[in-house]
Chain A
Amino acid sequence: MKYSKLLPAIFIIATLPIAAIAAEDEKIWNNILKPEYFAQQAIEESDKVIELEAPVRAEDPALVPIKVTSKIKQTKEHYIKKILVLVDNNPYPFVGDFEFTPESGKADIAMRIRVNSNSNIRAIAQTNDGKLTMTKKFVKASGGCSAPVGANLDEAMARLGKMKFRLEGDVKVGEPTSVQLMISHPNITGMQMDQVTRFIKKAHFVKDVKVSFNGKPVLTAKTDIAISTDPNFRFYFVPDKAGELKAEATDTSCETPTKRDVCTKGNTYTETFKVQP
């Protein structure tokens, strides 16, 4: 009897903070991000169009692997046109937007991102009919001694602009084939503490990634400081015949980490890769 009286009270105490946190989680999305990116637009929340994989805990806040998997086929008639990725609680929530074509074969995108604190990660897909579908995952921050900067910036800087393509498995003619693109770049966030140092560095990051196969766009991405040092993307293309994959990555420097109005044009790095099915 005693316990049965106590139990509901314990239950309330245990669930209250969780409910409060959950409401808190949607605050930035509802008040800032939704109005900024999708003002007045209806978004369906489901896993029907895309799914998002992310670890429960950000083991290394500088390098959190996430993957968006598409659930629909890319056809000329119906395809995923764009996927936007956001980390609500990052100082600059925009991670990137990724544009696909029917030639992409499959609108999947895997990448490594920076996650500063406990946060929802969201992926919002737009199909060519204009419909929006959102999926999200909550990721816990890691704690400990690591920070969302690169561990070895000098190394990344020394390799700046170097790129590599890696085909995953066999190439089959006319079928979606997975490819990995590695870009060596420090992707400096610019989140520096000026008070303690004379090393004041601007944000310096890859802002555009364009990948084509035989001249046809496969992936066109806008990216930002939430992408980890040495940006790494996996996606699909359809090799209809032998040809060439081409990647162009363009970087920029911005005066502040969280504003994009004062930025200078950077360099464009190019890499090509022969594909022989």
Chain B
Amino acid sequence: MRVLLLFVLFTVSAQTAATNALPVKEITAGVYVHFGKHQFPDSKNHGEIANLGFVVGQKCVAVIDSGGNPEQGSALKQAVTETTQTPICYVINTHVHPDHIYGNSAFKATGVKFVGHHKLARAMAARGSYYLGKAAEQLDVKLSAADLITPDVEVKDSLKLDLGGRTLTLKAHPTAHTDNDLSVYDEKTNTIWLSDLLFTEHVPTLDGSLKGWLSEIDKLEKQSFHYVIPGHGELVTDWPQSMQPQKHYLTLLLTEIRAAIKKGQHLEDAVKTVGYSEKNNWALFDEYHRKNVTSAFAELEWED
């Protein structure tokens, strides 16, 4: 029964693995985005949930996040090939989470440089063996250590990538969504790819520092962008309006958890009480909210 089911699953994934181009949308001149669905990564979607894409210059294409598995990476690569003859020079990983990096191996080729935050390699190392073990079990995706490609180019503070006729500015953020968040800014179109520094509709997921994230949001909020691409959610064209729900959610966590700690509540109590007024405002709230509270509580109890 189980073998049969596995066989069916493999057959289905093998079929979808054929190099059909991943659907992408040109949101502004030369910036292409594939918008992911708001789903929990599982063996049905094989971790294909994040927003991915690429920016096309005159000399080079930079891919931003490679996908939730190597097949999705191949499909994204196919989308690049069908869009332009310009070669891929860079694959930028915005952070360590599987839905953003598991497509890396599809892009490995001479002349392609992988780019990431200077703490990305460490995060890959720390999580690698666990992540790879879970990929088969939870995502029905086969991966080996060779699929996790550490950056050839590490961004310590900021870095400019010349794509020919347009320059991308990569910024390594202090610990926020994770401890290895990288944003990508395209000056030509005043577009910023915030990846998981921004969630819209999909509940934000905290895997770094709540206070750090709020502080990055404050800085970003003061800037103006024509287009903002979140890691999960629709294209933002009214910055910073569409970011307010995230700011509200994270601020509420901060306020309510601080109050809980002050009252002498324990982590296991806070998980049951904090932030539930936000429940109906977000997709996947039940899947991630308690984890967010847990993470934030452990951070905030060291204040003072």
Contact = CB atoms under 8 A, between A and B. Distances in A.
A65 B265 CA distance: 13
Is chain B's binding surface mostly helix, strand, loop or mixed? Answer: helix
B122 interface: yes
Contacts of B301: 182
Interface in B285-304: 287-288, 290-291, 294-295, 298-299, 301-302
B291 A146 contact: yes
A234 B295 contact: no
Interface residues of A, number: 49
B125 A194 contact: yes
A59 B206 CA distance: 12
B235 to A, nearest CB: 22
26 contacts: A59-B294, A60-B291, A60-B294, A110-B266, A112-B298, A143-B134, A144-B205, A151-B178, A151-B179, A151-B206, A151-B207, A151-B208, A152-B208, A153-B126, A155-B299, A162-B302, A166-B264, A184-B302, A193-B128, A193-B129, A193-B132, A195-B145, A196-B148, A197-B128, A199-B125, A228-B298
Contacts of B178: 151
A71 interface: no
Given A65-B268, A144-B288, A196-B150, A149 B127 contact: yes
Interface in B187-229: 205-209, 212
The 10 closest A-B CB pairs, nearest first, are A193-B128, A197-B125, A195-B145, A147-B127, A59-B290, A145-B97, A59-B291, A60-B294, A65-B268, A60-B291
Interface of A: 13, 17, 53, 55, 59-60, 63, 65, 67, 110, 112, 116-117, 141-149, 151-155, 159, 162, 166, 168-169, 182, 184, 191-200, 228-230, 232, 234
Contact of A234 (B97, B98, B122, B266): B266
A198 B151 CA distance: 12
Contact of B294 (A63, A148, A152, A199): A63
Contacts of B99: 145
Interface residues of B, number: 52
Interface centre among A146, A148, A194, A199, by most chain B C-beta atoms within 10 angstroms, is A146
B121 interface: yes
B130 A191 contact: yes
A210 B224 CA distance: 54
Given A65-B268, A184-B302, A193-B124, A142 B291 contact: yes
Contacts of A53: 268
A147 B126 contact: yes
Contacts of B264: 166, 168-169
Nearest to A200: B125
B98 A145 contact: yes
Given A116-B130, A153-B179, A145 B205 contact: yes
Given A145-B205, A151-B209, A197-B122, A191 B129 contact: yes
A193 B298 contact: no
A196 B122 CA distance: 9
B5 to A, nearest CB: 11
A132 to B, nearest CB: 27
Contacts of A234: 266
A30 to B, nearest CB: 23
Given A152-B209, A230-B298, 10 more contacts: A63-B295, A65-B267, A117-B137, A144-B41, A144-B291, A145-B205, A151-B208, A193-B148, A195-B128, A195-B145
B42 interface: yes
A152 B291 contact: no
Nearest to B178: A151
B243 interface: no
A60 B131 CA distance: 14
B291 A197 contact: no
